[in-house]
Copies of this chain bind each other. A is one copy, B any other.
Amino acid sequence: MSERVLISELQSRADGAVSVSGWVETVRDQKKVQFVILRDETGAVQLVNPATREIADDAATEASDALALTESISALSTGTFLTVHGTLKHDERVKLGGTEIKIGSLDIAAAADPETPIASDSGMDKRMDWRFIDLRQRRNNLIFRVQTTLEHAMRTYWVDRDYIELHTPKLMSSPSESNAELFSMEYFGDQTAYLAQSPQHYKQMAQASGFGKIFEIGDVFRADPSFTSRHATEFTSVDAEISWIDSHEDVAAMQEELLATAIAAVKEKHGAEIAELFGIEVTVPSLPFPRIPLAEAHDIIAARGYQTPRTDGDLDPEGERQISAHVAETFGHQFVFITDYHAGIRPFYHMRDEKTGLTKSYDLLFQGVEITTGAQREHRIDVLEAQAVEKGLALEGLEHYLDFFRYGVPPHGGFGMGLARVLMLLLGESSIREVTFLFRGPTRLAP
C-alpha cells in the first residue's frame, strides 16, 4: 500500500517510476498505440502503451512480453480495477492533467464482466439497480464528498459550542410521531417494536435530562407510500434541540448560522468542482435569513396570481415555490423561514403563542422546497396533555413521552432537517434519489 500514488498527486510529482491504482474508464486500442483512462477516487490519468501487434517466432523474451502486455490491454474491460507500474511523464499536450504514464506492467485486481449493465445515460431506475457502478461517475463521487464536508462542518459547529451528540434508539415501544406511516415488527416473541419516524421524543428527553444542547445525524423511517422526488422511506435526518430558549426564534437563529457555516465550508472545499460538474455557483447565504409569517405568505402568493388548493391553510409545493421566488426576487435570498403556523396544521407538541394562539414554529424553505420544521416545544405538562387530547390522541400511547415533562424540564425547542433535501437543492439535482447513497422507497429495497 505504501507505494501507491493518488492520481491527484501526479501533477506535482517528478517524472519517473510510479504506481497508480484505479479502474479502467475507457480503452482506446489503436493499431500503433494504446490509451487507457484510469480513474481513482481523486482523478483520472492517461496510460499509454506503444502497441506490439506481431513478433517473430524466435523473438526475444522482451518482444513476447511486449506482445503479451499489448494483448492484455486490448482485453481490458471497462470497470476493471488494476494497479499500473510505469513511468510518469509531464507533457503539456495531454489534456487530462498534463501528465501521462507509460505502462510498464499491469496488476489486475479484479477484471470486470465486459457486459456493463448500465451506461451513464441509463434511466434512473436502471442506474439504481446498479448503483455501485453508477456511483463511479465523477459527479456522483463528488456528491458524497460534498455531503461529508457539509456534515462535518455542521458537527464541528455544534461540537465547538459544547453540544452533545446523541444516538437515539430507532426501535421503540410506541410510535414517535403518529400512527400513520409506521413500520412495525415482532420483537423477541410477544412484543411489538416500531421504527422511529424521528428522534423527536428522545431529543426532548435529553432536555429533561439537563443535556442543554444536543444534535443527532441519524436514520429515520417513514412507511410513506409517496413517490415524489422529495420523499424517501428511509433517510438521514439532521436534528438539534436546545434548552432555555425564549421562542422558536432562538432555534431559527442557530439553524441559519449552522447552514451558512456549513455551506461556506462546502463552497471553499468543493466550489470549483461543483461549478464544473453541476454548473452551479454555490451561494453562501447571508444572515439573517428572511422571515415571513404564513398569513403574509398567502397574501404574497395570491398577489402573484396563485391560489393554493389546500383547504387546511398550509402551503402546497407550488405555494412554496412561489413564496421562494418572491424572496429570491425581493431579497436575493435562497432561504426563507415561514412562521406563525396555526395549530391545526402543527403537531400537538408545538408551543402556542399566548396572544395569537399561533404556534411558535417555522418551516425553512430552500430554493422553493421545505427542508425543515422547527419549533419551541410545549413543556408544561397540563398544556401538553390538553393539546394532545384536542388532537384526538390517546394519552396512554404517549405515556413514556409525557413522563419526560412530569419531573422537571426546561423550555426547549429544535428542528429536524432532511440531509438529502439540502444536498439535492445545493447541487441543483431534481431528485433525492440522485443524492442518496442507496435510496429506499415503496418499490425500492435493493440492492
Residues of chain A whose beta carbon lies under 8 Å from any beta carbon of chain B: 1, 4, 21-24, 39-42, 77, 79-81, 83, 109-113, 116-117, 130-133, 135-136, 141, 144-145, 147-149, 151-152, 155-156, 159, 162-174, 183-185, 187-188, 191, 193, 195, 202, 205-206, 208-213, 218-219, 221, 223, 225, 233-234, 236, 243-246, 250, 379-381, 400-401, 403-411, 419, 437-438, 440, 442-443, 445-447
Q: Are A21 and B219 in contact (CB under 8 A)?
A: no
Q: List 5 tightest A-B contacts by C-beta distance, closest first.
A: A41-B212, A112-B408, A135-B209, A79-B408, A185-B185
User: Which residue of chain B has its CB nearest to the CB of A403?
Assistant: B447
Give the Cβ gap from A76 to chain B, nearest Cβ, in Å. 10
Which B residues lie within 8 Å of A244 (CB)?
1, 4, 21, 83
Q: Point out which of A83, A379, A407, A419 has the most chain B C-beta atoms below 10 A from its C-beta.
A: A407
Once the chains are docked, how many angstroms separate the CA of A256 from the CA of B21? 25
| A112 shortest CB reach to chain B, Å | 4
Q: How far is the CB of A201 from chain B (nearest CB, A)?
A: 8
Q: Which of A24, A168, A209 has the most C-beta atoms of chain B within 10 angstroms of its own C-beta? A: A209
A135 touches B408 (CB 8 A): no
- Asked if A400 and B447 make an inter-chain contact with CB atoms under 8 angstroms apart, the answer reads yes
Contacts of A24 in B (CB 8 A): 408
Given contacts A164-B148, A210-B22, contact A408 B4 (CB under 8 A): no
Question: Nearest chain-B residue to A249 (Cβ)?
Answer: B1
Bound-state CA distance A23–B133 (Å) is: 54
Determine the distance from Cα of A433 to Cα of B438 in the docked complex, in whole angstroms: 32
By the criterion CB–CB under 8 Å, are A1 and B234 in contact? no
Chain B residues near A409: list those with CB within 8 A. 81, 109-110
* A132-B445 contact in complex given A185-B184, A234-B170, C-beta closer than 8 Å: no
Report the Cα distance A60→B409, complex, angstroms. 35
Distance in angstroms between the alpha carbons of A23 and B208 in the assembled complex: 9
B148, A165: Cβ atoms under 8 Å? yes
Return the contact of A211 from the options B41, B206, B406 (Cβ within 8 A): B41
Complex CA–CA separation, A173 to B151 (angstroms): 28
Q: Can you give 7 contacting A-B residue pairs, CB < 8 Å? A: A1-B245, A113-B407, A169-B437, A183-B185, A191-B445, A400-B447, A403-B447
Cβ A171 vs Cβ B212 within 8 A:
no
Contact B136 A210 (CB under 8 A): yes
Q: When the two chains form the complex, which single residue of B113, B156, B193, B212 contacts A445, counting CB atoms closer than 8 Å?
A: B193
Closest B residue to A379 by CB, please name it.
B110
Whole-angstrom distance between the Cβ of A198 and the nearest chain B Cβ: 14
- Chain B residues whose CB sits within 8 angstroms of the CB of A447 once the complex forms: 173, 205, 400-401, 403
A145 touching B164 in the complex, CB below 8 Å, given contacts A113-B406, A185-B184, A250-B1? yes
Which residues from B are CB-within-8-Å of A40? 210, 212
Q: Do A171 and B445 have beta carbons less than 8 Å apart?
A: yes
Is the pair A408, B81 in contact by a Cβ cutoff of 8 Å? Answer: yes
Q: Which residue of B lies closest to A400 (CB)?
A: B447
**Contact status of A163 and B148, CB under 8 A, knowing A173-B446, A208-B132, A407-B113:** yes
CA distance A234 to B202 in the complex (A): 15
Query: Which of A209, A211, A408 has most chain B Cβ within 10 Å?
Result: A408
For A42, list chain B residues within 8 Å (CB). 162, 212
Chain B residue at minimal CB-CB distance from A165: B148
